[in-house]
Structure 1
Amino acid sequence: MATTEECRSALDRLSQNLTHADGEVRGAAALDRTLSCHITDLDTTFTGRLAGGRIEVLDRADGPPRERAEIRLAMTGDDLLAMVDGGLNFAKAWASGRVRLEAGFRDLLRLRSLL
Structure 2
Amino acid sequence: MATIEECRAALERLSDGMRGAEGDVRAAAELDRTVSCRITDLDRTFVGRMTGGRIVVDDTVRGAPAERAQIRLAMAGDDLVALVNGELNFAKAWGSGRLKLETGLLDLFRLRGLL
TM-score band w.r.t. shorter chain = over 0.9
What RMSD, in angstroms, separates the aligned Cα atoms of the two structures?
0.7
So what's the TM-score if we normalise by structure 1? 0.97
Displacement of 1:65 in angstroms is 2.3
> Which residue matches 1:105?
105
Where in structure 1 do 4 or more consecutive aligned residues deviate above 6 Å? none
SS at structure 2 position matched to 1:114:
coil
Displacement of 1:21 in angstroms is 1.0
> Which residue matches 2:3?
3
1:49-88 to structure 2, matched below 5 A, reads: 49-88=49-88
**2: CA distance between counterparts of 1:95 and 1:29?**
22
Deviations 1:12-47 (A, max 9, x none): 110001001111111111100000000000000000
> Which residue matches 1:37?
37
Displacement of 1:105 in angstroms is 1.1
SS at structure 1 position matched to 2:60:
strand
Displacement of 1:95 in angstroms is 1.2
**1: CA distance between counterparts of 2:26 and 2:95?**
23
**1: CA distance between counterparts of 2:106 and 2:98?**
23
State the aligned residue count.
115
**2: CA distance between counterparts of 1:114 and 1:108?**
10
Structure 2: runs of 5 or more not aligned = none
Q: Identity, % of aligned pairs?
A: 66
AA of the residue aligned to 1:71: I
Structure 1: runs of 5 or more not aligned = none
**2: CA distance between counterparts of 1:49 and 1:35?**
5
So what's the TM-score if we normalise by structure 2? 0.97
